[in-house]
Protein backbone atom coordinates (compact mmCIF):
# COMPACT_ATOMS: atom_id res chain seq x y z
CA UNK A 1 0.00 0.00 0.00
CA UNK A 2 1.51 3.25 -1.18
CA UNK A 3 0.03 6.67 -0.49
CA UNK A 4 0.16 8.85 -3.63
CA UNK A 5 -1.54 12.04 -2.48
CA UNK A 6 -2.87 13.64 0.65
CA UNK A 7 -5.20 16.56 1.25
CA UNK A 8 -7.05 18.05 4.18
CA UNK A 9 -10.73 18.61 3.47
CA UNK A 10 -12.74 21.00 5.57
CA UNK A 11 -14.49 19.40 8.60
CA UNK A 12 -11.21 17.85 9.79
CA UNK A 13 -11.14 15.04 7.25
CA UNK A 14 -7.86 13.70 5.89
CA UNK A 15 -8.20 12.23 2.38
CA UNK A 16 -5.40 10.06 1.05
CA UNK A 17 -5.21 8.34 -2.30
CA UNK A 18 -3.28 5.13 -2.44
CA UNK A 19 -2.37 2.28 -4.71
CA UNK A 20 -2.36 -1.33 -3.73
CA UNK A 21 -0.34 -2.95 -6.47
CA UNK A 22 -2.28 -1.93 -9.57
CA UNK A 23 -5.45 -1.02 -7.66
CA UNK A 24 -6.15 2.63 -6.80
CA UNK A 25 -8.05 3.50 -3.67
CA UNK A 26 -8.97 6.32 -1.31
CA UNK A 27 -8.82 6.49 2.48
CA UNK A 28 -10.66 9.08 4.58
CA UNK A 29 -9.82 9.41 8.26
CA UNK A 30 -10.42 11.92 11.03
CA UNK A 31 -7.51 14.39 11.00
CA UNK A 32 -6.83 13.77 14.65
CA UNK A 33 -7.64 10.50 16.39
CA UNK A 34 -7.15 9.55 20.00
CA UNK A 35 -7.78 5.83 19.39
CA UNK A 36 -7.79 3.61 16.28
CA UNK A 37 -11.05 4.26 14.39
CA UNK A 38 -13.44 1.51 13.30
CA UNK A 39 -13.43 1.12 9.51
CA UNK A 40 -16.23 1.26 6.95
CA UNK A 41 -15.50 -0.04 3.46
CA UNK A 42 -17.48 1.93 0.89
CA UNK A 43 -18.83 -0.24 -1.91
CA UNK A 44 -19.76 1.28 -5.29
CA UNK A 45 -20.50 0.15 -8.85
CA UNK A 46 -17.02 0.90 -10.21
CA UNK A 47 -15.44 4.06 -11.63
CA UNK A 48 -13.85 5.85 -8.65
CA UNK A 49 -13.43 9.13 -10.51
CA UNK A 50 -17.06 9.32 -11.59
CA UNK A 51 -18.28 8.14 -8.19
CA UNK A 52 -15.92 10.44 -6.27
CA UNK A 53 -18.42 13.19 -5.29
CA UNK A 54 -20.91 10.72 -3.85
CA UNK A 55 -18.24 8.57 -2.18
CA UNK A 56 -16.56 11.61 -0.61
CA UNK A 57 -19.89 12.83 0.74
CA UNK A 58 -20.64 9.44 2.31
CA UNK A 59 -17.09 9.29 3.67
CA UNK A 60 -17.18 12.76 5.25
CA UNK A 61 -20.52 11.99 6.84
CA UNK A 62 -19.06 8.83 8.41
CA UNK A 63 -15.74 10.37 9.41
CA UNK A 64 -17.68 13.08 11.25
CA UNK A 65 -19.03 10.26 13.44
CA UNK A 66 -15.57 8.90 14.14
CA UNK A 67 -15.27 6.22 11.48
CA UNK A 68 -12.43 5.69 9.03
CA UNK A 69 -13.70 4.91 5.52
CA UNK A 70 -11.96 3.51 2.49
CA UNK A 71 -12.72 2.31 -0.98
CA UNK A 72 -10.86 0.71 -3.89
CA UNK A 73 -11.48 0.65 -7.63
CA UNK A 74 -13.36 -2.40 -8.90
CA UNK A 75 -11.88 -4.80 -11.47
CA UNK A 76 -12.59 -3.28 -14.89
CA UNK A 77 -13.56 0.07 -13.34
CA UNK A 78 -11.90 3.44 -14.02
CA UNK A 79 -8.52 2.94 -15.70
CA UNK A 80 -8.19 -0.69 -14.69
CA UNK A 81 -7.98 -3.23 -17.54
CA UNK A 82 -11.34 -4.34 -18.83
CA UNK A 83 -12.17 -8.00 -19.38
CA UNK A 84 -13.60 -8.83 -22.78
CA UNK A 85 -16.13 -11.19 -21.22
CA UNK A 86 -17.40 -8.54 -18.78
CA UNK A 87 -17.67 -5.96 -21.56
CA UNK A 88 -19.68 -8.42 -23.62
CA UNK A 89 -22.00 -9.20 -20.71
CA UNK A 90 -22.50 -5.48 -20.08
CA UNK A 91 -23.32 -4.92 -23.76
CA UNK A 92 -25.83 -7.78 -23.66
CA UNK A 93 -27.41 -6.30 -20.53
CA UNK A 94 -27.72 -2.84 -22.07
CA UNK A 95 -29.15 -4.36 -25.24
CA UNK A 96 -31.82 -6.22 -23.24
CA UNK A 97 -32.66 -3.15 -21.16
CA UNK A 98 -32.77 -0.94 -24.26
CA UNK A 99 -35.13 -3.37 -25.99
CA UNK A 100 -37.32 -3.50 -22.89
CA UNK A 101 -36.67 -7.24 -22.63
CA UNK A 102 -36.37 -9.08 -19.31
CA UNK A 103 -32.74 -9.51 -18.29
CA UNK A 104 -32.16 -13.24 -18.19
CA UNK A 105 -30.21 -15.00 -15.45
CA UNK A 106 -27.47 -16.06 -17.81
CA UNK A 107 -26.51 -12.46 -18.60
CA UNK A 108 -26.58 -11.51 -14.88
CA UNK A 109 -24.36 -14.49 -14.04
CA UNK A 110 -21.85 -13.55 -16.73
CA UNK A 111 -21.82 -9.93 -15.59
CA UNK A 112 -21.71 -10.28 -11.81
CA UNK A 113 -20.15 -13.61 -10.81
CA UNK A 114 -16.68 -13.02 -12.32
CA UNK A 115 -16.71 -9.52 -10.81
CA UNK A 116 -17.43 -10.96 -7.34
CA UNK A 117 -14.74 -13.64 -7.81
CA UNK A 118 -12.15 -11.03 -8.66
CA UNK A 119 -13.19 -8.14 -6.42
CA UNK A 120 -13.65 -9.91 -3.09
CA UNK A 121 -10.02 -11.06 -2.71
CA UNK A 122 -8.94 -7.52 -3.59
CA UNK A 123 -11.14 -6.03 -0.86
CA UNK A 124 -9.65 -8.53 1.58
CA UNK A 125 -6.13 -7.54 0.59
CA UNK A 126 -7.10 -3.91 1.05
CA UNK A 127 -8.45 -4.80 4.47
CA UNK A 128 -5.10 -6.35 5.46
CA UNK A 129 -3.29 -3.18 4.41
CA UNK A 130 -5.80 -0.77 5.99
CA UNK A 131 -5.91 -2.60 9.31
CA UNK A 132 -2.12 -2.45 9.52
CA UNK A 133 -2.29 1.36 9.78
CA UNK A 134 -2.03 2.58 13.37
CA UNK A 135 -4.96 5.03 12.99
CA UNK A 136 -7.38 2.25 11.98
CA UNK A 137 -8.68 -0.51 14.22
CA UNK A 138 -11.47 -2.99 13.96
CA UNK A 139 -14.30 -3.78 13.75
CA UNK A 140 -15.11 -3.37 10.07
CA UNK A 141 -18.32 -2.65 8.20
CA UNK A 142 -19.18 -2.78 4.51
CA UNK A 143 -21.50 -0.11 3.12
CA UNK A 144 -23.04 0.15 -0.34
CA UNK A 145 -23.05 -1.96 -3.45
CA UNK A 146 -22.38 -4.00 -5.53
CA UNK A 147 -24.65 -6.00 -3.22
CA UNK A 148 -23.27 -9.36 -4.45
CA UNK A 149 -19.77 -8.25 -3.45
CA UNK A 150 -21.12 -7.26 -0.03
CA UNK A 151 -22.81 -10.62 0.39
CA UNK A 152 -19.71 -12.63 -0.54
CA UNK A 153 -17.49 -10.44 1.67
CA UNK A 154 -19.86 -10.88 4.62
CA UNK A 155 -19.75 -14.65 4.13
CA UNK A 156 -16.02 -15.22 3.62
CA UNK A 157 -14.43 -12.37 5.59
CA UNK A 158 -14.76 -12.81 9.35
CA UNK A 159 -13.51 -9.28 10.00
CA UNK A 160 -16.76 -7.84 8.54
CA UNK A 161 -19.02 -7.24 11.57
CA UNK A 162 -21.97 -5.46 9.98
CA UNK A 163 -23.12 -4.54 6.49
CA UNK A 164 -25.34 -1.85 5.02
CA UNK A 165 -26.23 -3.20 1.59
CA UNK A 166 -27.75 -1.29 -1.30
CA UNK A 167 -30.22 -3.48 -3.20
CA UNK A 168 -29.60 -1.63 -6.43
CA UNK A 169 -27.97 -4.10 -8.78
CA UNK A 170 -28.71 -7.37 -10.51
CA UNK A 171 -28.19 -10.41 -8.30
CA UNK A 172 -27.29 -13.86 -9.62
CA UNK A 173 -29.59 -16.63 -8.38
CA UNK A 174 -26.69 -18.43 -6.72
CA UNK A 175 -26.14 -15.40 -4.46
CA UNK A 176 -29.43 -16.23 -2.73
CA UNK A 177 -27.75 -19.33 -1.33
CA UNK A 178 -24.84 -17.24 -0.10
CA UNK A 179 -27.27 -14.71 1.40
CA UNK A 180 -28.60 -17.48 3.65
CA UNK A 181 -25.08 -17.87 5.07
CA UNK A 182 -24.80 -14.20 6.05
CA UNK A 183 -25.18 -13.83 9.82
CA UNK A 184 -23.85 -10.33 10.61
CA UNK A 185 -26.32 -7.52 11.38
CA UNK A 186 -27.66 -6.04 8.16
CA UNK A 187 -29.38 -2.90 7.02
CA UNK A 188 -30.65 -3.17 3.44
CA UNK A 189 -31.53 -0.10 1.39
CA UNK A 190 -34.11 -0.48 -1.35
CA UNK A 191 -35.22 2.23 -3.77
CA UNK A 192 -38.89 1.35 -4.36
CA UNK A 193 -38.87 2.41 -8.03
CA UNK A 194 -35.30 1.53 -8.98
CA UNK A 195 -35.27 1.46 -12.77
CA UNK A 196 -32.72 -1.34 -13.09
CA UNK A 197 -33.74 -3.46 -10.14
CA UNK A 198 -36.55 -5.93 -9.60
CA UNK A 199 -38.41 -4.98 -6.41
CA UNK A 200 -39.77 -8.44 -5.71
CA UNK A 201 -36.34 -9.98 -6.19
CA UNK A 202 -34.90 -7.47 -3.72
CA UNK A 203 -37.59 -8.34 -1.17
CA UNK A 204 -36.93 -12.06 -1.70
CA UNK A 205 -33.22 -11.44 -1.18
CA UNK A 206 -33.91 -9.54 2.05
CA UNK A 207 -36.02 -12.47 3.17
CA UNK A 208 -33.21 -14.91 2.33
CA UNK A 209 -30.50 -13.34 4.48
CA UNK A 210 -29.63 -15.53 7.45
CA UNK A 211 -28.96 -12.62 9.83
CA UNK A 212 -31.02 -12.49 12.97
CA UNK A 213 -30.86 -8.70 12.97
CA UNK A 214 -31.75 -7.35 9.58
CA UNK A 215 -33.66 -4.20 8.72
CA UNK A 216 -35.02 -3.12 5.36
CA UNK A 217 -35.23 0.60 4.62
CA UNK A 218 -37.32 1.13 1.51
CA UNK A 219 -37.66 4.66 0.16
CA UNK A 220 -39.45 6.21 -2.76
CA UNK A 221 -37.68 7.12 -5.97
CA UNK A 222 -35.20 5.72 -8.43
CA UNK A 223 -31.69 4.31 -8.23
CA UNK A 224 -29.89 7.53 -7.35
CA UNK A 225 -32.66 8.93 -5.14
CA UNK A 226 -31.59 7.52 -1.75
CA UNK A 227 -32.71 10.23 0.72
CA UNK A 228 -30.05 12.14 2.63
CA UNK A 229 -31.44 11.04 5.98
CA UNK A 230 -30.32 7.49 5.19
CA UNK A 231 -26.76 8.75 5.76
CA UNK A 232 -27.64 9.40 9.40
CA UNK A 233 -29.51 6.12 9.64
CA UNK A 234 -26.44 4.34 8.31
CA UNK A 235 -24.16 6.02 10.84
CA UNK A 236 -26.50 4.97 13.66
CA UNK A 237 -26.56 1.40 12.39
CA UNK A 238 -22.76 1.24 12.31
CA UNK A 239 -22.47 3.02 15.65
CA UNK A 240 -24.61 0.24 17.17
CA UNK A 241 -22.44 -2.50 15.74
CA UNK A 242 -18.91 -1.17 15.29
CA UNK A 243 -18.43 0.91 18.42
CA UNK B 1 -61.03 17.89 29.10
CA UNK B 2 -60.53 17.25 32.78
CA UNK B 3 -57.25 16.21 34.37
CA UNK B 4 -57.81 13.48 36.95
CA UNK B 5 -54.28 12.72 38.14
CA UNK B 6 -50.78 14.01 37.78
CA UNK B 7 -47.39 12.52 38.51
CA UNK B 8 -43.79 13.39 37.84
CA UNK B 9 -41.83 10.52 36.32
CA UNK B 10 -38.07 10.48 36.43
CA UNK B 11 -36.35 12.05 33.39
CA UNK B 12 -38.39 15.25 33.78
CA UNK B 13 -41.61 13.86 32.33
CA UNK B 14 -44.99 15.05 33.57
CA UNK B 15 -47.71 12.40 33.18
CA UNK B 16 -51.33 13.48 33.48
CA UNK B 17 -54.42 11.31 33.12
CA UNK B 18 -57.52 13.01 31.81
CA UNK B 19 -61.05 12.34 30.72
CA UNK B 20 -62.67 13.80 27.68
CA UNK B 21 -66.33 13.19 28.34
CA UNK B 22 -66.43 9.41 28.81
CA UNK B 23 -63.06 8.82 27.19
CA UNK B 24 -59.96 8.38 29.36
CA UNK B 25 -56.60 9.49 28.10
CA UNK B 26 -53.02 10.20 29.14
CA UNK B 27 -50.82 13.17 28.35
CA UNK B 28 -47.05 13.22 28.73
CA UNK B 29 -45.17 16.52 28.50
CA UNK B 30 -41.71 17.81 29.35
CA UNK B 31 -41.83 19.11 32.93
CA UNK B 32 -40.44 22.43 31.85
CA UNK B 33 -40.98 23.90 28.41
CA UNK B 34 -39.74 27.17 27.00
CA UNK B 35 -42.03 27.02 23.95
CA UNK B 36 -45.16 25.02 23.08
CA UNK B 37 -44.09 21.48 22.20
CA UNK B 38 -45.09 19.70 18.98
CA UNK B 39 -47.51 16.85 19.69
CA UNK B 40 -47.38 13.16 18.85
CA UNK B 41 -50.58 11.15 19.20
CA UNK B 42 -49.79 7.59 20.26
CA UNK B 43 -51.97 5.01 18.53
CA UNK B 44 -52.49 1.55 20.06
CA UNK B 45 -54.82 -1.45 19.69
CA UNK B 46 -57.06 -0.53 22.64
CA UNK B 47 -56.78 -1.25 26.36
CA UNK B 48 -54.86 1.65 27.88
CA UNK B 49 -54.18 -0.15 31.14
CA UNK B 50 -52.70 -3.23 29.46
CA UNK B 51 -50.80 -1.10 26.96
CA UNK B 52 -49.56 1.37 29.59
CA UNK B 53 -45.98 0.11 30.01
CA UNK B 54 -45.29 0.18 26.29
CA UNK B 55 -47.08 3.49 25.74
CA UNK B 56 -45.28 5.14 28.64
CA UNK B 57 -41.93 3.96 27.29
CA UNK B 58 -42.69 5.36 23.83
CA UNK B 59 -43.93 8.58 25.42
CA UNK B 60 -40.86 9.09 27.61
CA UNK B 61 -38.59 8.45 24.67
CA UNK B 62 -40.39 11.15 22.67
CA UNK B 63 -40.70 13.63 25.54
CA UNK B 64 -36.94 13.37 26.01
CA UNK B 65 -36.63 14.77 22.47
CA UNK B 66 -38.96 17.67 23.23
CA UNK B 67 -42.28 16.29 22.04
CA UNK B 68 -45.57 16.23 23.93
CA UNK B 69 -47.36 12.90 23.52
CA UNK B 70 -50.91 11.86 24.24
CA UNK B 71 -53.23 8.94 23.80
CA UNK B 72 -56.89 8.13 24.39
CA UNK B 73 -58.74 4.87 24.97
CA UNK B 74 -60.30 3.32 21.88
CA UNK B 75 -64.05 2.69 21.56
CA UNK B 76 -64.70 -0.67 23.23
CA UNK B 77 -61.23 -0.69 24.84
CA UNK B 78 -60.50 -0.84 28.56
CA UNK B 79 -63.61 -0.01 30.58
CA UNK B 80 -65.41 1.65 27.70
CA UNK B 81 -68.71 0.06 26.62
CA UNK B 82 -68.31 -2.78 24.18
CA UNK B 83 -70.39 -3.01 21.01
CA UNK B 84 -72.06 -6.37 20.44
CA UNK B 85 -71.22 -6.25 16.73
CA UNK B 86 -67.54 -5.59 17.41
CA UNK B 87 -67.38 -8.39 19.98
CA UNK B 88 -68.96 -10.77 17.46
CA UNK B 89 -66.50 -9.74 14.75
CA UNK B 90 -63.60 -10.25 17.17
CA UNK B 91 -64.91 -13.71 18.10
CA UNK B 92 -65.24 -14.62 14.41
CA UNK B 93 -61.68 -13.42 13.83
CA UNK B 94 -60.28 -15.45 16.71
CA UNK B 95 -62.23 -18.49 15.54
CA UNK B 96 -60.78 -18.20 12.03
CA UNK B 97 -57.24 -17.69 13.37
CA UNK B 98 -57.63 -20.57 15.82
CA UNK B 99 -58.80 -22.88 13.04
CA UNK B 100 -55.90 -21.78 10.85
CA UNK B 101 -58.38 -20.48 8.28
CA UNK B 102 -57.76 -17.40 6.16
CA UNK B 103 -59.42 -14.33 7.66
CA UNK B 104 -61.90 -13.19 5.07
CA UNK B 105 -62.48 -9.56 4.12
CA UNK B 106 -65.99 -9.53 5.51
CA UNK B 107 -64.78 -10.22 9.07
CA UNK B 108 -62.05 -7.58 8.78
CA UNK B 109 -64.57 -5.02 7.52
CA UNK B 110 -66.93 -5.76 10.42
CA UNK B 111 -64.08 -5.54 12.93
CA UNK B 112 -62.19 -2.49 11.72
CA UNK B 113 -64.50 -0.15 9.80
CA UNK B 114 -66.90 0.69 12.66
CA UNK B 115 -63.90 1.18 14.94
CA UNK B 116 -62.38 3.69 12.51
CA UNK B 117 -65.75 5.45 12.10
CA UNK B 118 -66.07 5.87 15.83
CA UNK B 119 -62.44 6.43 16.88
CA UNK B 120 -61.36 9.07 14.37
CA UNK B 121 -63.83 11.78 15.48
CA UNK B 122 -62.76 11.07 19.07
CA UNK B 123 -59.10 11.57 18.21
CA UNK B 124 -60.03 14.85 16.51
CA UNK B 125 -61.91 16.02 19.58
CA UNK B 126 -58.92 15.10 21.70
CA UNK B 127 -56.74 17.09 19.31
CA UNK B 128 -58.94 20.17 19.80
CA UNK B 129 -58.60 19.85 23.56
CA UNK B 130 -54.87 19.12 23.57
CA UNK B 131 -53.99 21.96 21.21
CA UNK B 132 -55.85 24.40 23.45
CA UNK B 133 -53.30 23.76 26.23
CA UNK B 134 -50.62 26.47 26.36
CA UNK B 135 -47.77 23.95 26.68
CA UNK B 136 -48.68 22.21 23.40
CA UNK B 137 -48.38 23.66 19.92
CA UNK B 138 -48.51 22.23 16.48
CA UNK B 139 -47.59 20.53 14.28
CA UNK B 140 -49.00 17.12 15.10
CA UNK B 141 -47.89 13.60 14.30
CA UNK B 142 -49.63 10.24 14.68
CA UNK B 143 -47.54 7.25 15.76
CA UNK B 144 -48.53 3.60 16.00
CA UNK B 145 -51.61 1.60 15.17
CA UNK B 146 -54.43 0.81 14.55
CA UNK B 147 -53.07 1.56 11.06
CA UNK B 148 -56.55 2.08 9.60
CA UNK B 149 -57.22 4.77 12.21
CA UNK B 150 -53.91 6.41 11.32
CA UNK B 151 -54.78 6.34 7.61
CA UNK B 152 -58.23 7.88 8.09
CA UNK B 153 -56.84 10.52 10.46
CA UNK B 154 -54.10 11.44 7.99
CA UNK B 155 -56.73 11.85 5.26
CA UNK B 156 -59.41 13.81 7.11
CA UNK B 157 -57.44 15.76 9.73
CA UNK B 158 -55.34 18.56 8.19
CA UNK B 159 -53.50 19.15 11.47
CA UNK B 160 -51.69 15.79 11.09
CA UNK B 161 -48.35 16.63 9.46
CA UNK B 162 -46.57 13.28 9.55
CA UNK B 163 -47.40 9.72 10.52
CA UNK B 164 -45.41 6.74 11.71
CA UNK B 165 -47.71 3.79 11.06
CA UNK B 166 -47.36 0.27 12.42
CA UNK B 167 -48.45 -2.28 9.81
CA UNK B 168 -49.54 -4.74 12.44
CA UNK B 169 -53.29 -5.11 12.10
CA UNK B 170 -55.85 -6.27 9.58
CA UNK B 171 -56.71 -3.67 6.96
CA UNK B 172 -60.04 -3.51 5.16
CA UNK B 173 -59.75 -3.43 1.36
CA UNK B 174 -61.47 -0.04 1.21
CA UNK B 175 -58.65 1.47 3.28
CA UNK B 176 -56.34 0.96 0.29
CA UNK B 177 -58.32 3.64 -1.54
CA UNK B 178 -57.96 5.96 1.44
CA UNK B 179 -54.24 5.18 1.60
CA UNK B 180 -53.87 6.62 -1.91
CA UNK B 181 -55.21 9.92 -0.56
CA UNK B 182 -52.57 10.16 2.19
CA UNK B 183 -49.97 12.77 1.26
CA UNK B 184 -48.13 13.54 4.52
CA UNK B 185 -44.63 12.12 5.07
CA UNK B 186 -44.85 8.54 6.30
CA UNK B 187 -42.67 6.03 8.04
CA UNK B 188 -44.19 2.54 8.06
CA UNK B 189 -43.04 -0.16 10.47
CA UNK B 190 -43.43 -3.76 9.41
CA UNK B 191 -42.56 -6.81 11.48
CA UNK B 192 -41.43 -9.32 8.87
CA UNK B 193 -42.90 -12.35 10.64
CA UNK B 194 -45.95 -10.75 12.28
CA UNK B 195 -48.20 -13.66 13.22
CA UNK B 196 -51.47 -11.85 12.60
CA UNK B 197 -50.50 -9.77 9.63
CA UNK B 198 -50.16 -10.61 5.95
CA UNK B 199 -46.73 -9.44 4.78
CA UNK B 200 -47.68 -9.07 1.13
CA UNK B 201 -50.77 -7.07 2.05
CA UNK B 202 -48.62 -4.76 4.17
CA UNK B 203 -46.20 -4.25 1.26
CA UNK B 204 -49.12 -3.57 -1.09
CA UNK B 205 -50.47 -1.03 1.39
CA UNK B 206 -47.08 0.69 1.61
CA UNK B 207 -47.06 0.83 -2.18
CA UNK B 208 -50.57 2.34 -2.21
CA UNK B 209 -49.85 5.36 0.00
CA UNK B 210 -49.93 8.58 -1.99
CA UNK B 211 -47.17 10.28 0.02
CA UNK B 212 -44.15 11.42 -1.92
CA UNK B 213 -41.95 10.83 1.12
CA UNK B 214 -42.58 7.41 2.56
CA UNK B 215 -40.13 4.98 4.11
CA UNK B 216 -40.66 1.37 5.06
CA UNK B 217 -38.72 -0.03 8.01
CA UNK B 218 -39.05 -3.80 8.04
CA UNK B 219 -37.51 -5.70 10.93
CA UNK B 220 -37.25 -9.35 11.89
CA UNK B 221 -39.54 -10.93 14.40
CA UNK B 222 -43.17 -11.06 15.42
CA UNK B 223 -45.83 -8.52 16.30
CA UNK B 224 -44.33 -7.36 19.60
CA UNK B 225 -40.71 -7.58 18.51
CA UNK B 226 -40.19 -4.04 17.15
CA UNK B 227 -36.51 -3.34 17.94
CA UNK B 228 -35.71 -0.60 20.44
CA UNK B 229 -33.68 1.35 17.91
CA UNK B 230 -36.91 2.10 16.00
CA UNK B 231 -37.75 4.46 18.88
CA UNK B 232 -34.79 6.61 17.91
CA UNK B 233 -35.62 6.28 14.23
CA UNK B 234 -39.17 7.45 14.98
CA UNK B 235 -37.92 10.48 16.91
CA UNK B 236 -35.66 11.42 14.02
CA UNK B 237 -38.52 11.07 11.57
CA UNK B 238 -40.74 13.35 13.65
CA UNK B 239 -37.89 15.78 14.31
CA UNK B 240 -37.53 16.18 10.53
CA UNK B 241 -41.22 16.90 10.03
CA UNK B 242 -42.58 18.44 13.22
CA UNK B 243 -39.77 20.77 14.28
SS3 labels along A14-76: EEEEEEECCEEEEEEEECCCCCCEEEEEECCCCCHHHHHHHHHHHHHHHHCCCCEEEEECCCC
Q: What is the DSSP code (8-state) at residue A203? A: H
pLDDT of B100 reads 87
- For residues A69 and A41, is the Cβ–Cβ distance under 8 A? yes
A229 touches chain B (CB under 8 A): yes
Q: Which of B207, B211, B218 sits opposite A215 (nearest CB)?
A: B218
- Closest residue in chain B to residue A216, using alpha carbons only: B218
**What does the mean pLDDT of chain A come to?**
95
Name the 3-class secondary structure at B37.
strand
Q: How far apart are alpha carbons A104 and A168 in whole angstroms?
A: 17
Summarize pLDDT for B35-70 with one digit per residue, the tens. Answer: 999 999 999 999 999 999 999 999 999 999 999 999
Mean pLDDT score, A17-39: 95
Confidence check: pLDDT of B147 > 90: yes
- Closest residue in chain B to residue A190, using alpha carbons only: B216
Summarize pLDDT for A166-206 with one digit per residue, the tens. Answer: 998 899 999 999 999 999 999 999 999 998 788 999 999 99
pLDDT of A174 reads 95
pLDDT of B33 reads 79
A 53-92 near B (Cβ less than 8 A): none
Indicate yes or no: CB of A232 within 8 angstroms of CB of B229: no
Name the 3-class secondary structure at A144.
strand
Burial (CB count <10 Å: 0-12, 13-18, 19+), residue B187: buried
Summarize pLDDT for B218-232 with one digit per residue, the tens. Answer: 999 999 999 999 999
- Residue A32's alpha-carbon distances to A17, A61, A131, A197, in angstroms, are 18, 16, 17, 40
Pairing of strands B13-20, A214-219: unpaired
Indicate yes or no: CB of A214 within 8 angstroms of CB of B220: yes
Q: Which of A213, A219, A240 sits opposite B220 (nearest CB)?
A: A213
A114 touches chain B (CB under 8 A): no
Domain B2-80+120-242 has CATH 3.40.50.1820: yes
Q: What is the DSSP code (8-state) at residue A165? A: E
**What does the mean pLDDT of chain B come to?**
95
Indicate yes or no: CB of B215 within 8 angstroms of CB of A236: no
Cis amide bond preceding B139, omega within 30: yes
pLDDT of A195 reads 80
Q: How far apart are alpha carbons A153 and A140 in whole angstroms?
A: 11
Residue B131, C-beta contacts closer than 8 angstroms, at least 6 positions apart: B39, B137, B138, B140, B159
Q: Which of A213, A217, A236 sits opposite B215 (nearest CB)?
A: A217
Confidence at A125, pLDDT banded by 50, 70, 90: very high
- Residue A181's alpha-carbon distances to A56, A208, B219, in angstroms, are 31, 9, 18
Q: How far apart are alpha carbons B141 and B150 in whole angstroms?
A: 10
Mean pLDDT score, A86-99: 93
Q: What is the DSSP string of B137-178?
A: EEEEEEEES-HHHHHHHHHH-TTEEEEEEE--S---THHHHH
CATH for A2-81+115-242 is 3.40.50.1820
Q: Which of A217, A227, A240 sits opposite B217 (nearest CB)?
A: A217
User: How do the domains of chain A map onto residue ranges?
Assistant: 2-81+115-242
Q: What is the DSSP code (8-state) at residue B26? A: E
- For residues A103 and A74, is the Cβ–Cβ distance under 8 A? no
pLDDT of B102 reads 84
A151-181 burial code (b ≥16 CB/10 A, e <16): bbbbbebeebbbbbbbbbbbbbeebbebbee
Summarize pLDDT for B95-140 with one digit per residue, the tens. Answer: 998 898 888 999 999 999 999 999 999 999 999 999 999 999 989 9
How large is the ipTM? 0.89
Q: What is the DSSP code (8-state) at residue B33? A: -
pLDDT of A39 reads 98
Q: Torsion-angle region of residue A54: left (phi > 0), alpha (psi -120 to 50) or beta? A: alpha
A 186-215 near B (Cβ less than 8 A): 192, 203, 206-207, 211-215
Query: Which backbone phi and psi does A214 adopt, to 5 degrees?
Result: -145, 140
Q: How far apart are alpha carbons B162 and B141 in whole angstroms?
A: 5
Q: How far apart are alpha carbons A140 and A154 in whole angstroms?
A: 10
Provide the β-strand partners of residue B142.
B41, B163
B174 touches chain A (CB under 8 A): no
Amino acid sequence: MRFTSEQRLDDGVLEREFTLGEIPGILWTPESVSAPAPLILLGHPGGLRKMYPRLAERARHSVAEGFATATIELPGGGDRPRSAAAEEARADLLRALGAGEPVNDEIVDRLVLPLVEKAVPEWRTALDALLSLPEIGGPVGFSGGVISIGIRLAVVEPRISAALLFAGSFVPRTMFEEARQVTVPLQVLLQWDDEGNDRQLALDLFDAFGSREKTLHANMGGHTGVPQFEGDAGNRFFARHLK
